[in-house]
Amino acid sequence: MISRSTLQAASRLSPRMVGYHLKRLARNKLVPRLPDRYAARIARAADRLPGLRPAAATGEAALAMAQGVAAFYREEYRHEIDDAARGRFTFFGQSVDFGRAADIDWHHRIPAEMDFHLWRMKLGHMGFLCPMLTDGGPAHLEAVAEIFAGYRARARFDQPECFSSYWFPYSVSHRILALLSGYLIARAAGRLPAPLCAEIEDFLRWNVAFVEANIEHELKNNHVERNLAALCFYYSCAQAVPPALARRLDRDVAGIIRACILDDGLLAERSAMYQGLSVMALQVFAAAPFLTPATRRLAETQARKAARAWSFMTHPDGEIALFNDSWFGEVPPAHAIVAPARFDPVALLPQAGYARLEGDGIFALFDAGAIGPRWNPGHGHADFLSIEVDVAGRRFLTDPGTYQYSTGPRRMFERSAQAHNGPGAAGLEPVSYYGCFRVGQLAEARLLAPEAPGTRAVAGELPLPGGGLLRRSLQLLPGALAISDRWQGRFEAPQLRLSLPATWQLVERHPQALVFACDGARAQLSVQAGRIGSIGPGHWACRYLVDSPAQIVTLFPEPSAEAARLEWQIAHQPA
C-alpha cells in the first residue's frame, strides 16, 4: 500500500519529472538484463561526439574555465595523489587499499554505510585524477592509464546497482569536470605523452555520451546543475557543438538557473555545501561560448550573487554552516575559491530566509526559510528558526550536522526538529520524512523584515498546522546576542535543545547562567525568563561519517496564559 508521505511527495512532481522517474526505473530494471546492448549504444554515441580542440586551438577562455573547475578538485585531493597512484583511497575518514590502481573495485561497500553508499560514489567521481594530471609525476600518469583500463574492465552495466555508484550520472558528471579540467591544464603545460592524451579524450567522450543520455531531470536541483555543467564544459572545448544540442543545453541551463538559484544567489536547496558546487556550475555556464548571450548574462549575474551567498554562509573559522545536508571538506572553503564579501552587522538573504549577525566577538547565522524546493526538498532538515553561534571565532552553538545519508535512526534524527535548536516541543515535527531523502509533509518558516533600517535585530516565525506559531527574535548587543523565543498556541512540554561542541568545557554553573571555556575564550549562556534544565552528553557531525562529542543543554520557557516565553543570551567574556 502506498503511504501518505509517498503520495504527498509524488503530488509535487511535475509531469516532466514523473516521466524521467519512469525512464530511470525502466533503465535500472532493463539494462542489467541487456548490458552489452546498452554498452554498445553508449559506445556508438561516444563515437559520434565531436572531439576536443587540439592544444594549439584550446584558447585562453577554455584554460581559464579549466583553472576555475580544477581549483575545487586540486584543493580537495592534491595531498592524496600518492595513495591514489597505489590504489589506496580515503574518503570520509574511511580508508580502503585495493593494492594497485588497476585493481580498484568500483562497486566496493564500506561497513559504515547501509543503503546509500556515498563512499563508492565518491570513488566514482574520480576527483583525484585532476591533481594526478596537474601535479603528479610519471608514476601518477602511469596510474591514470591503469585506472582507465581497470574501470573499463570492471565498471560494467550488468550490476543492478551500477547506476547508483560508478554509473550514477551525478558521479559521472564530477568525473568529467575533474578529468577534463586536469587534462586541459596538464596538456597546455606539455606534461602528457600523446598516447595518454588519446586515452583521456576517448574516456571523456564515453562519459559525456552517458551523461547526455541520462540527465537527471527526475531529481532536478543540484543533480541537473552538475550534469549540465559537465556537458557545457566539454562542449566549450570541443571542435563543434551540434546546433540541436546547443539549443537544448541553452534551454536547460536557463531553466535550471531560474528554478534553482534564488534571487539572493543561494541555491534553492539552502545548503552551504552544495552552494559551492553551484558557484562552479554558474561560472562554467557564464563562460560557455555556445550558450546564448541572454543565458550567459543570467549565469554571470547569478554567479556573482552565488559567490556572495557562499561567503555569507561561511563562519569566521573559514568553514560553512551546517544547516540542511552539509559537512566540511566536500567542497573547498569558500574563501579558497571566491573573495570574502563584506556584510553589515546584520545582513539578510531574504529569499533563502537566512540572517547573519556579527559583532564584538559574536557571530550567528539564523535559519528562517523553507525546508527546500517543493518539487524535491530531499536535502532539507527541519532546522526552522535554528541558529549557529560562534564566540571569539569558535563554534559555540552548532547544528547537529549530517553524519550519513543512509536510512536509519541517526539520519531521521538529524533531519528532525527535535535535533535542532529552534523553539520545540515534545512530539512536535512539522515535517515528515521517510527513506534517505524523501519528504512528505512540508513546512516553511518566514524571515521577518527588520522594523527599521540599520537595526541590529532580526526575527522569524514558523506557522504550524492547527494555528500554532513559533517565533524567535535575535538582537546584537555589545559583546552578546540576545534571543527571545515565543510559543503561541497549545504545546506539550515546550523546550529548547542546544548542542555545544565538547571542546567548550563547563567551568561555572549558576541557577540562571552557565559559563564555558575553550582555548582561553569564555562564553556565558544565561537565561533571563525561563530556566536551565539538564546538561548531558550528545554528538554532532561536521564531517561525513565522523562523529564528534557534544554537550546538550536543555532550556525551558516561562509559562504564560498567552504564550510561553524564553529570554536568553550568549555573551562573550574576554579573557
| 349 vs 329: CA distance, rounded Å | 24
What is the average pLDDT score of the chain? 95
For residues 209 and 228, state if they share a domain.
Answer: no
User: Of 180, 214, 248, which residue constitutes the final position of a domain?
Assistant: 214
Asked if 210 and 166 sit in the same domain, the reply is: yes
Instruction: Identify whether 137 is part of a domain.
Output: yes
Q: Is residue 34 part of a domain?
A: no
From 34-43, 47-56, 145-154, 155-164, the region with the lowest mean pLDDT? 155-164
Q: What is the pLDDT, as a whole number, of residue 11? A: 82
**Percent of the chain at pLDDT exceeding 70:** 98
Q: What is the mean pLDDT of residues 551-562?
A: 92
What pLDDT was estimated at residue 7?
A: 72
> What is the grid cell recorded at 495?
523546550
Same domain? 371 vs 271: no
What is the structure's pLDDT at 438?
87
The C-alpha atoms of residue 45 and residue 38 are separated, in whole angstroms, by 11
Structure confidence by residue, pLDDT tens digits, 384-418: 999 999 999 999 999 999 999 999 999 999 999 99
Output the pLDDT for position 236: 98
Please work out, in degrees rounded to the nearest 5, the angle formed at the alpha carbon of residue 500 by the alpha carbons of 497 and 505.
Answer: 130
Same domain, 166 and 65: yes
Q: Is residue 185 part of a domain?
A: yes
492-505 tens-digit pLDDT = 999 999 999 999 99
Is residue 333 located within the same domain as residue 286? Answer: yes
SS3 of 162-214: the string is: HHHCCCCHHHHHHHHHHHHHHHHHHHHCCCCCHHHHHHHHHHHHHHHHHHHHC
Same domain, 270 and 128: no
- Are residues 198 and 247 located together in one domain of the fold? no
The C-alpha cell 538582537 sits at 475
Tens-place pLDDT, residues 521-539? 999 999 999 999 999 999 9
On whether both 195 and 239 belong to a single domain, the answer is no
Question: How is 121-157 classified by DSSP, letter by letter?
Answer: HHHHHTTTHHHHHHH--HHHHHHHHHHHHHHHHH--T
Share of the chain above pLDDT 90, in %: 90
CATH code: domain of residue 440: 2.70.98.70
Say if residue 317 is in the same domain as residue 371. Answer: no
Q: Is residue 19 part of a domain?
A: no
How many folded domains does the chain comprise? 3
Residue 206: give the domain boundaries.
53-214
Are 99 and 243 members of one domain? Answer: no
For the segment 137-180, what is each residue's pLDDT rounded down to a tens digit? Answer: 999 999 999 999 999 999 999 987 899 889 999 999 999 999 99
In this predicted structure, what is the pLDDT of residue 159?
A: 85
Which amino acid type is present at position 289?
Answer: P
pLDDT at position 170 is 97
Please, which pLDDT band fits residue 466 given cuts at 50, 70 and 90?
A: confident
Final residue before a domain boundary, out of 304, 338, 372:
338
Q: What is the pLDDT of residues 503-522, one digit of tens each?
A: 999 999 999 999 999 999 99
| 11 within a domain of the structure (yes/no) | no
18 part of a folded domain: no
The answer on 208 and 240 residing in a single domain is: no
Among 198, 214, 230, identify where a domain stops. 214
Name the grid cell of 237: 572545448
pLDDT tens digits, one per residue of 326-355 = 999 999 999 999 999 999 999 999 999 999
Residues 175 and 192 in one domain: yes
Q: Is residue 26 part of a domain?
A: no
The answer as to whether 23 is a domain residue is no
